[in-house]
């Protein structure tokens, strides 16, 4: 896919309409006054905003917050975001109480080159999620060019993520460019061999993902609760573990598909079990088939993790989604932490292109203290998963030169 970046744009004096993801957590307790609890997504937008400002553009930011379902909901206003962004930018950020119409137009008209304006929640209008052409045209009136910097919303064909790209000269923002470049290195045009790690609890929620990956990867390791389903499908007793027993035949189908596509599948060799899932609960390492009926599988065993680290060392590219165990609850975080640190060290040494994504994955890497060692960590949830599933993302496709109307 070919798309234009800000390096291709004439920015001087132009009104740049920028789709960002400012769907951030706010403090709601008394006295907090809607303060931003985590400014990660605000900081991610800084490179694009600063590049536009340096080029002499007027920066107009579009974003959604929560799910107002096409109605004005005061507690879902983006108003508290403007001062938080100004603090991160070190530059004033104006706010308009609407994203279209007279109030938006007046706020845009007041801008000078280098100024930054945040418009109100685009989801206050039903036309946003319906990708209504009239609403997209109303948004487009505020801009001379369109910049999409919200990969995390790129799997939605909404007016501000897809429709606008067909109405104005469209460019990928800096964060979007980084994301697409990293994902292309991981799965589009990777250095082989490529190893995938997929964890999490349910096979049923990641069927499309697994079916796609076994046709693309050289090696695939399955961990977390979904590994229990695969073990059960192979005839191993999983005791009182979480297991989608009704998915056993599907698991066997994926095993067969992996074999047909020469994708080596890594399932646990040993596991860590406990009678109850609680912090500090007594944990034991078991071999396959040694699980008592009252025991739960809660982590990957040391032999499994050691083999996984060897597989990483013998790969050139790693793509990771999902933890290997209940990482939020020591001692069942050990497998995920050790594997993550192994990947991080290899990436830091330049021996592995390591790309990870998904909410639980990011939290697990942060817990292991190695997220900054990975080549790229995507904070996008649904968009990252749909990309791994091989699905077209409307917001990305709309940026492609071949898809322009």
User: What would the DSSP string read from start to end of 322-363?
Assistant: S-SS-TTSTTTTHHHHHHHHHHHHHHHTTS-EEEEESHHHHH
| Cα–Cα distance for residue pair 39/52, rounded to 1 Å | 20
Known catalytic residue at 216: no
Q: What residues have CB less than 8 Å from 71, skipping those under 6 apart?
A: 124
Q: Which residues neighbour 361 within 8 Å (Cβ) at sequence distance 6 or greater?
A: 199, 320, 321, 322, 323, 377
Structure-block tokens of residue 178: 């980084």
Residues in the chain, total: 405
List 14, 15, 19, 41, catalytic entry: 41
Per annotation, catalytic residue among 97, 359, 381, 390: 359
Which position among 264, 382, 390, 391 bears the catalytic label?
382
CA distance 376 to 38: 19
Distance CA 120, CA 95 (A): 7
382 is catalytic: yes
Task: Reply yes or no on whether 28 is catalytic.
Answer: no
Residue among 305, 370, 295, 376 at smallest CA distance from 334: 305
Q: Is 202 a catalytic residue?
A: yes
Catalytic pick among 130, 202, 286, 341: 202
For the record, the structure tokens of 231 come out as 């073990």
* Sign of the torsion formed by the C-alpha atoms of 66, 40, 378 and 361: negative
As annotated, the active-site residues are 41, 202, 359, 382
């Amino acid at each position: 896919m070919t798309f234009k970046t800000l390096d291709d744009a004439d920015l001087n004096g132009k009104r740049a309409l920028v789709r960002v993801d400012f769907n951030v957590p706010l403090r709601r307790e008394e006295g907090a006054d809607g303060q931003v609890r985590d400014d990660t997504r605000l900081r991610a937008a800084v490179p694009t905003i600063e590049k536009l400002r340096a080029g002499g553009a007027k920066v107009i930011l579009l974003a959604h917050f929560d799910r107002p379902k096409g109605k004005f909901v005061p507690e879902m206003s983006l108003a508290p975001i403007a001062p938080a962004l100004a603090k991160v930018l070190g530059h004033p950020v104006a706010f308009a109480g609407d994203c279209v119409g007279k109030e938006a137009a007046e706020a845009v008209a007041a801008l000078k080159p280098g100024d930054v304006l945040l418009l109100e929640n685009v989801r206050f209008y039903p036309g946003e999620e319906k990708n209504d052409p009239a609403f997209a045209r109303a948004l487009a009136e505020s801009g001379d060019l369109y910049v999409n910097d919200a990969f995390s919303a790129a799997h939605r064909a909404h007016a501000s993520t897809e429709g606008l790209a067909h109405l104005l000269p469209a460019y990928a923002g800096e964060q979007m460019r980084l994301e697409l470049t990293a994902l292309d290195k991981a799965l589009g045009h990777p250095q082989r061999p490529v190893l995938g790690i997929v964890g999490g609890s349910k096979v049923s929620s990641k069927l499309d993902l697994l079916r796609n990956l076994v046709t693309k990867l050289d090696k695939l390791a399955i961990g977390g609760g979904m590994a229990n389903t695969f073990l059960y499908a192979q005839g191993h007793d999983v005791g009182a573990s979480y297991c989608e027993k009704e998915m056993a035949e599907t698991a066997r189908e994926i095993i067969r598909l992996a074999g047909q596509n020469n994708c080596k599948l890594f399932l646990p060799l040993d596991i860590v079990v406990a009678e109850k899932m609680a912090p500090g609960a007594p944990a034991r390492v078991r071999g396959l088939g040694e699980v008592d009926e009252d025991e739960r599988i809660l982590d990957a065993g040391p032999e499994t993790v050691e083999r996984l680290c060897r597989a990483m060392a013998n790969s050139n590219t790693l793509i990771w989604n999902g933890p290997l165990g209940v990482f939020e609850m020591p001692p069942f975080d050990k497998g995920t932490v050790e594997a993550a640190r192994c990947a991080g060290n290899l990436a830091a040494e330049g021996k592995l292109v390591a790309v990870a994504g998904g909410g639980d994955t990011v939290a697990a890497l942060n817990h292991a203290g190695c997220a900054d060692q990975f080549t790229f960590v995507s904070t996008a949830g649904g968009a990252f998963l749909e990309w791994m599933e091989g699905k077209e993302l409307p917001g990305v496709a709309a940026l492609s030169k071949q898809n322009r109307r």
